[in-house]
Each structure stands twice: as C-alpha cells, then as structure tokens.
Chains A and B, each alone.
Chain A
Amino acid sequence: MTTRISARFTDLAAQGRPGLVTFITAGDPDYDTSLELLRMLPGAGADVIELGVPFTDPMADGPAIQAAGLRALKAGQTLAKTLDLVRAFRVEDAATPIVLMGYFNPIYIYGVPRFIADAKAAGVDGLIIVDLPPEEDKELCLPALEAGLDFIRLATPTTDETRLPTVLAHTAGFVYYVSITGITGSATPDADVVGAAVARIKQHTLLPVAVGFGVKTPAQAAAIAAGADAVVVGSALVEAVRKTLDDAGAATANTVPAVEALVRELAEAVRGVGRQAAE
C-alpha cells in the first residue's frame, strides 16, 4: 500500500539524497505558534515531520524535550488538540508525512480504537511510541497496522542480531535507529559507528532507516545522513524555540523565523550529501 511515508522515501531515493526529519513538540509554546511552525517546516526543507505528543513523564527524553512538553501542557495542549493541529496542517499540505511521537498513556486513556480512527481521519501517517516494545504489540502496534497507520519501531545499539528480527517484525514506514544509548539530545553519535549499524539493520529489512537522538548541528546531520536514508533532528529545534521565548515563556516575533532558519541550514547540509553522492 502506498502511504505518504513510503511515497516520500521513494521520492527521496529517486532524488538520490537522504531526507531530513524534523521534530517539534505539539503545542509548544502554544497551539497557534505550533501550527505556524508546522506549516513552515515543509517549505524550509523538512521531508518528514515528527510531532511530539506532550507527556508529563517522558522517560526517554532529555531536558530540552522534557521542557518543551511541559511548556505545551502548561499552554493547555492535549492529545485531542494535537490531532486538531494535524487536521489543520493537512488543509494546506497533503504530501508531507506526519508521525506522532510520544508515550502510551495519553493514547491509552484517549482509548486505542478511538485514537486510531481519529488519528487516521486527522491525517496522521505513523506512530512512534517509545514505551511500547514488541513485547506489547497487541496494545497499539497491531491494531494501528491493521488500520493502515505505520507503526515505526525504534532499533537501538542494544538491539542485537538475535533481537533485530523481533523489532522489525511489525514495523512499517521506516525504522528509527536510535544512534546512542541514552536520552534525546544528549551524547553526540559517531557517524562511522552509526553507518555500520544502519548497514546491519538493512541486511534484515527493505524499509528505509532514519537515524536520530543527539544530532544537533547541520554538520552532524550531514555526517549521519550520509550513512542513512534520513536523519532526525529534534532537541536542537525545540531549543531554538525556547531561546526565542520572552520572560513569560510566550512566543515572540522571532520564534518561527529562528526555527525556520535552523531547518533551512539543516536541510541544505543534508541535501548537500545527496549532491556529493551524485558527483
């Protein structure tokens, strides 16, 4: 089945370049600014959008994304409003894939069947749920796949050869390789080590592999992207949001332009990888 995600990666392959996946937190610093940011991303060079679903206790996230989630919650963001954001974005953009990334409890409380139906209807393409390993597939992964939502699995440096097939068994869209053992936005990954890990995963699957956690600068993004199908940047973008906020934590005139400038730099660096490869 052709989905927005598979269409986008097919297109990237045709262009001969890796993709840029950008992460922002839904509702950070407020709903309206978040929607503006979302609408800005494709034009600035984001190929896939990861939209963080705020949660009070994000146990795999570092300080930057923890703070972004708390800002969003303080501004009144809920899972229902996150689906509203996606619906509003889809009015203007029918092509850019959106993947929700978060933790299971808000979805569990919303109700799994209702969430799957509403997410599909809103225009969500995939889900990355950090605290649902293959051992808990029946909770959300299997019903989501059944409904045509891609369930994107995290593979990590601790996922060894024997476990990899389990991790890849019910995954769709792409595989998200976590480049470090750690939390988001912490250590800097080593591009050579990551490249070898991606090659190892590709021996087991035909799905594209995106790499994230710890990628902060355009140069790092380019180095990681060279050995993968896409690179994910998150903490650096939510930090860019934070730095533009006023003393009360509200968005300023500089918030969207500052994030846009960083996304353009990242996109240029990542697209440069494609040009070099083509030369």
Chain B
Amino acid sequence: MNALNSYRTGPDEGGHFGIHGGRFVAETLMPLILQLEAAYEAAKVDPAFKAQMDGYLAHYVGRPSPLYYAERLSEHLGGAKVYLKREELNHTGSHKVNNVLGQILLALRMGKTRIIAETGAGQHGVATATLCARFGLKCVVYMGAVDVERQKPNVFRMEMLGAQVIPVQSGSRTLKDAMNEALRDWVTNVHDTFYCIGTVAGPHPYPSMVRDFQSIIGKETRAQMLEAEGRLPDSLIAAVGGGSNAIGLFHEFLDDPGVEIFGVEAAGHGISSGQTAAAILAGRPGVLHGNRTYLLMDDDGQISEAHSISAGLDYPGIGPEHSWLHDIGRVKYIPCTDTEALGAFQLLSKLEGIIPALECAHAIAKVMEIAPTKPKDHLMVVNLSGRGDKDVSTVADLLGGRI
C-alpha cells in the first residue's frame, strides 16, 4: 500500500475513514441524510454561508478564543511550556457552540423548523438551546435521566432558554440512550426536524461536518502559536468522548509530522475494570448510531454501558475518524481515570484560577503526566474545551464537601 500523502482528505464519498464511518441508518432517514449531505456541500462553498458563520462566530460566540500560556501550571510541572486553548470562554461555556452554530444555520437553509439534540453533560444541549432561542426555532433535547440528575444546572439553563428537555429512561439512561431516543424522534418527525448531533459521530456526513465546524479551534491555534512563539506546537492534547473538541484541535495539524498528538479517553475506574468509557483502548470495531467505530461491547455484539465520572465522556463509542487515526497510528490514545481527572480539576483551579469541565480535566491530567517528561522549550497545547461550573456540585460531593 502506498503511504498516505495526507491525513486530511477523509472521508471517502461513502463517509468512510479506513474501515470506520459509513451510513448505518434506517431507510426512513436515508433520503434526509442524502439531502443534508447535498445541503452541506453547497453551503461549504457558498461565500454567503461563510460570511454568516464568521459574523456570528466573532460577535455572538466571541471568537477567536485566547491561546493562554499557563505559566504557573508549567512552572509547577517543571517541563513543557503549556498553553491552554480557551474554548471555555466561548458563549455557552464550551466548544460545542462552534458546531451548533454551523448546523443551525444549515437547518435554516434547509427550511427545517424543529431542532432535536442529544446531550450528555448538557454542554451540547445548552449550545443548541441557545442558538434555537437566537433563531426562534423549536428545540427538544434528549438527556439520559442519570445525566439530568448529575448535570442539573445545565438542565435549568436549557429550560430557561426555552428548550424542552426530555429525560430518557431506557437502557443505561445516559448519553447512548439519549442518542437512541433522538434517532427515534428523528425517524418519527423527519419532515420538519433537523437532528443537531453534538459530536463527530453518527452517519455520514455528520462526522466530517461537525469536524469542519470545530476545526476553527486548530486553525486559530496555529496562527496564535506562530504569533506567540514563531513556530508550531510540539504536542497537542485533548479529551475524547465522541471526540469533537479533540478533532477540532487536531485536524489542522495532522499533516505536520513534528506535532505529536494525544487523545485522552475516559478510563473510568481503569480500562480493564469493566467500568470504563475508553472505546478505543477497551473496545473493538462495531456498528452503532449510524457508523462503524470502536465500541464497548460483549462477545455477542451487545453494547456495554460506559462509565465515566464525566457525563460528557460517558459513551461507549468514539467518532470514526478517531478510530481511523488510532488504526494508522497518527494519534496516540491514552487513558485517564476518574481519580486522575478529579486531581487535575483541583490543580488547574488552584494554580490558574480556571475551573475546567470534568471532560477536559482528563486532558489536564495527562498534561500533568507528560509535560514533566518534556524539555523546557517543548510547546504543548491542551484544549480547555469547557468550563467546570456545571461540575462543582458533583466534585464537592465526591470530595465530601471539601474542594
């Protein structure tokens, strides 16, 4: 086989990244998915769409987000120079809004009037509810009943913004089940409904479309790092659930061989514990939610319940492009346990005055591990994908009321 010229040309026209991806959906949805693909292809090359995106990204979302040199964290770790890409400073408090803006503008172009979404931690749900409020669209968010409990502040935010939040009682009552229920809603209301998927998973074209909307993170990072240091970063690191914040940072740098890339999977109690959400490290390729990708499952192909302290990473799968980047070895996927993430949550809060979401605390935990092994001139960028206000009560409970 010939070596790849580029890691950035995927997917193929069937939506495949290597063996991963594809369009494994019910026939009822297939015509709409083909329409969506055509609408997105048209929007992508329409200067008016780009201008509209750029305008809202600057004035509503508040981009560009800063690339911040975490001086005290770097000194504390005693190795690499650590930069934080401050996606938590976006409107709504996470990177999710980048993608939702794109999809909502696309839904408007397609004449859809009702938006549905699934959410785990609630960050994608909040971003969707926010933009639906802004554009006067009806919004229904499916959220696992377990997540409704552990992410209460975000439920109130969504309702405040006018969205209907439906707690999902089936299965493990977390993100996977919320996605099943959203797909069932979509099949039922396909004529007027747009499904705004929150991560780089699902049937083609979602994984590449969501990646494209998130890739602004990496594009800004490249320009900001060149301005700050006059060269590219040496390493990138981001937490991976479905993987949208990670691919958003990584994609821009895949063809820069000098940039080492780490994706951090939520290991829960450990990758061999049976209580994990590390799809690549503890799973195998299978088919769920419209795509082939690494999934946690048993020997009969029944999907396992994931476990993570972080609701946003508590999903038994991962986006297909990550599965491919793992297969070809371009990105190194590493595990982070609940306990390690909790430690990082506290350390970043105390050293930098930034309370990270539990999701990206997983990435910070691996920075704590890797940065000390690197020389002082090593430039490391970590995606601080969301803010941790939503997690404060969860963490307080876990620490027995002591933060």
Contact = CB atoms under 8 A, between A and B. Distances in A.
Interface in B23-52: 23-32
A244 B121 CA distance: 39
Interface in A155-182: 155-160, 163, 167, 178, 181-182
B27 A108 contact: no
A197 interface: no
B302 A73 contact: yes
A159 B34 CA distance: 12
Contact of A105 (B22, B187, B303): B303
Given A105-B287, A105-B297, A135 B191 contact: no
Interface residues of A, number: 45
B31 A160 contact: yes
A192 B305 CA distance: 43
Interface stretch (A54-62, A233-241, A247-255): A54-62
Interface stretch (B78-86, B176-184, B361-369): B176-184
A142 interface: no
Interface string A177-194: 010011100110000000
Contacts of B180: 57-59
A131 interface: yes
B388 to A, nearest CB: 30
Contacts of A73: 302
A40 interface: no
Contact of B23 (A80, A133, A182): A133
A153 interface: yes
Given A106-B300, A109-B299, A158-B32, A181 B27 contact: no
B170 interface: yes
Contact of A57 (B176, B189, B191): B176
B187 A106 contact: no
Contacts of A104: 24, 287
A55 B276 CA distance: 21
Given A108-B301, A181-B188, A181-B190, A159 B287 contact: no
Interface string B151-188: 00000000000000000001100001100100110011
Interface in B280-327: 286-290, 292, 295, 297, 299-303
Given A78-B300, A79-B300, A105-B301, A133 B27 contact: yes
A66 B287 CA distance: 18
Given A110-B301, A158-B190, A56 B286 contact: no
A135 B184 CA distance: 20
A122 interface: no
Q: Which of B23, B28, B188 has the most CB of A within 10 A?
A: B28
A80 B301 CA distance: 11
Interface in B175-217: 176-177, 180, 183-184, 187-191
A182 B187 contact: yes
B28 A158 contact: yes
A133 B204 CA distance: 13
B301 A106 contact: yes
B215 to A, nearest CB: 25
B10 interface: no
A106 B189 CA distance: 28
B286 A109 contact: yes
A191 to B, nearest CB: 20
A37 to B, nearest CB: 21
B27 to A, nearest CB: 5
Interface of B: 14, 22-32, 170-171, 176-177, 180, 183-184, 187-191, 286-290, 292, 295, 297, 299-303
17 contacts: A55-B301, A57-B289, A57-B303, A79-B301, A105-B295, A108-B287, A108-B292, A109-B286, A110-B301, A133-B24, A153-B27, A156-B28, A163-B30, A178-B27, A181-B191, A182-B188, A186-B188
Interface of A: 54-60, 62-63, 66, 73, 78-80, 103-110, 130-136, 153-160, 163, 167, 178, 181-183, 186-187
Given A60-B187, A181-B187, 8 more contacts: A55-B301, A57-B171, A59-B180, A60-B184, A130-B26, A131-B26, A133-B26, A181-B189
Top 10 A-B residue pairs of the complex, sorted by shortest distance between their CB atoms? A109-B301, A106-B301, A182-B188, A156-B28, A78-B300, A105-B301, A131-B24, A59-B183, A56-B303, A133-B30
